[in-house]
């Protein structure tokens, strides 16, 4: 991975979201309506199926609905710590610098609206 600025994105369609890093798909979450499970895939790695329905490899309650088919708003969050980076945040762990945010429709999906 290069140092400096990166370009992050999501390709959002009904029942799936693909996450991109510097123009390449990093992971995809796909909702499976028939079981209520979520399938998570990353290039070159085995897929995992989360949920309580048939075929779930990791038994967690998903809730049976895919909330990302509803309207939403964008939150930018520099989440640090936890499983990926277990070191405690200390003020020097991470810095989020956002140069711009752009929104496009993807394969005919997506629209914008103003706050009520």
| The pLDDT of residue 92 | 67
pLDDT tens by residue, 26-60? 999 999 888 888 899 999 999 988 888 777 887 77
Higher pLDDT, 2 or 15: 15
Q: What is the pLDDT of residue 90?
A: 67
CA nearest neighbour of 68 among 34, 31, 37: 31
Give me Rg for the CA atoms of the chain.
17
* Confidence band, pLDDT 50/70/90 cuts, at residue 19: very high
For the chain, the farthest-separated pair of C-alpha atoms sits apart, in whole angstroms, at 45
* Strand order from edge to edge, sheet including 37-41: 8-13, 16-21, 24-32, 37-41, 48-50
| pTM passes above 0.85 | no
| 73: pLDDT strictly greater than 80 | no
- Predicted confidence (pLDDT) at residue 11 exceeds the cutoff of 70: yes
């Amino acid at each position: 991975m290069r140092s400096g600025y990166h370009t992050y994105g999501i390709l959002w369609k009904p029942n799936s979201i693909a996450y991109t890093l510097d123009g390449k798909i990093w992971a995809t979450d796909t909702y499976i309506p028939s079981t209520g499970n979520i399938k998570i895939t990353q290039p070159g790695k085995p897929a995992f199926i989360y949920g309580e329905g048939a075929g779930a490899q990791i038994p967690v309650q998903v809730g049976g609905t895919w909330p990302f088919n509803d309207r939403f708003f964008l939150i930018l969050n520099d989440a640090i710590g936890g499983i990926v980076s277990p070191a405690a945040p200390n003020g020097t762990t991470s810095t989020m610098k956002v140069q711009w945010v752009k929104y496009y429709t993807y394969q005919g999906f997506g629209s914008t609206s103003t706050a009520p």
